[in-house]
Structure 1
Amino acid sequence: MAAPSEAPVTRQVSGHAAPAPVPSGPASWQPLAAAVAELPVLDASGRPVLFGELFRERRAIVVFVRHFLCYICKEYVEDLAKIPKSFLQEANVTLIVIGQSSYHHIEPFCKLTGYSHEIYVDPEREIYKRLGMKRGEEIASSGDPAQQGGTLILGPGNNIHFIHHDRNRLDHKPINSVLQLVGVQHVDFTSRPSVIHV
């Protein structure tokens, strides 16, 4: 009788050194949150803001995008732009996008995507690095083309409730599943007409 076959063991191989592992589990995330809270991000005018100030008073969904020329990231942010501010306000949650290019790219990116929630950049990618965001895929861009993004739920204070590291440009966390985690009502992202009542 043949031995039962096992699934092959696979792992991604790259030429880059692996980032420091991110601690797993909410209790081990707190020192990580404190470490990144004091790092600066830049707003659309280039003014530095401490990252921790963005989620000190309330929970925040923070989406780190690969770069502003990534077509997949653009589409994802276009969908984020469709989340009504009233839905976020009802749940006392703020939505923040962090890019990793120059602050000069914020305004054109917002015009392109229709995004009107909070947006900042981490041009040195220091927060990306400390949070263990992966690197991979070489594509021309504004910002490090190999940098991957991710989604976090932070605050109030230095509390990290959820971390998702994008493995590649197609690995964004589904928006409605993130909204559900913070008590924000479901958003219909379909753009095609549909019959609601008959």
Structure 2
Amino acid sequence: MASLPSPAVLADAANLHIFDLNGQKVRFGSLFESKKAVFVFIRHFFCGNCQQYVMELSSIPTEALEQAGTEIVVIGCGEWEPIRHVLENTNFHGPIYADPTRELYRTLGMTIETLQVTPSDTKKKSYLRTGRFSNAMQSIWNTLKNPALVGKQGNLKQLGGEFIFGPGNQCSYASRMQHTEDHVEVAELMKMAGVAYP
């Protein structure tokens, strides 16, 4: 587990604004004021690896999340317009938000920008079910079939991470990606959140 954000950082992050799928501003802290939430910060909205990860998150039963009193929230670094595209491609039923300025990313310590993949001496994560070539082709196809969204997907080198916040300004888990295939295993994340999985 990575270092947790300090209380001061948490307070700063809570006051930042992100955008929902309709382009409406939402104060980040309002998403975990009265409940626990698992926040998954993906890379850009067209990232094939991240879409595989979100697809795995979509397989978590709603009942399991309700029993744990938590929800899963996805945040991307692009504009808000591609959000519906991600929802359609992943069957994810939770909320997705956009942080186009990446101020929230930086505040929470997700400052690495790279296109590096899994190091050769490290086992690839289980959510990566298709090869890199297929992922690259999928990303290109997503771009071609959504020309109006080109340039709105976010920084291609931005890395994300996973956090568990709430209720209130507290953080119980943090993991920041070190390369483009480094989302924490879903089973581990759900265990830390107290959610029964699989």
Instruction: Please give the range of the TM-score, normalised by the shorter of the 2 chains.
Output: 0.7 to 0.9
The question of whether the paired residues in 1 share the 8 Å contact of 2:114 and 2:180 is answered with no
Q: Which residue does the alignment assign to 1:11?
A: none
CA distance in 2, matches of 1:89, 1:32: 28
| Aligned-pair CA distance for 1:165 | 0.4
Which has the larger helix fraction? 2
Q: Which residue does the alignment assign to 2:115?
A: 137
What do the CA deviations read for 1:93-124 (whole angstroms, capped 9, x no partner)? 11100001111100111001111111101011
SS at match of 1:152: strand
The question of whether the paired residues in 1 share the 8 Å contact of 2:43 and 2:159 is answered with yes
- 2:169 maps to 1:158: yes
Q: Which residue does the alignment assign to 2:143?
A: none
What do the CA deviations read for 1:29-56 (whole angstroms, capped 9, x no partner)? 2221111000001000000000000111
The question of whether the paired residues in 2 share the 8 Å contact of 1:29 and 1:159 is answered with no
In structure 2, the gaps of 5 or more residues are 117-135, 141-150
Select between 101-110 and 133-142 the one with higher mean Cα deviation: 133-142
Letter in 1 for 2:65: L
CA distance in 1, matches of 2:3, 2:43: 22
Q: How does 1:93-108 map to 2 (within 5 A)?
A: 93-108=70-85
| Aligned-pair CA distance for 1:24 | 3.4
SS at match of 2:188: helix
| TM superposition score normalised by structure 1 | 0.78
Letter in 2 for 1:110: L
Q: How does 1:1-40 map to 2 (within 5 A)?
A: 24-25=3-4, 29-40=6-17
Aligned-pair Cα RMSD in Å? 1.8
**Larger relative contact order (CA 8 Å, sep ≥ 6):** 2
| Aligned-pair CA distance for 1:132 | 1.3
Q: Tell me which of 174, 180, 186 is aligned to 1:169.
A: 180
| TM superposition score normalised by structure 2 | 0.78
In structure 1, the gaps of 5 or more residues are 1-22, 188-198
Structure 1 runs of 4+ aligned residues shifted over 4 Å read 138-141
Structure of larger gyration radius: 1
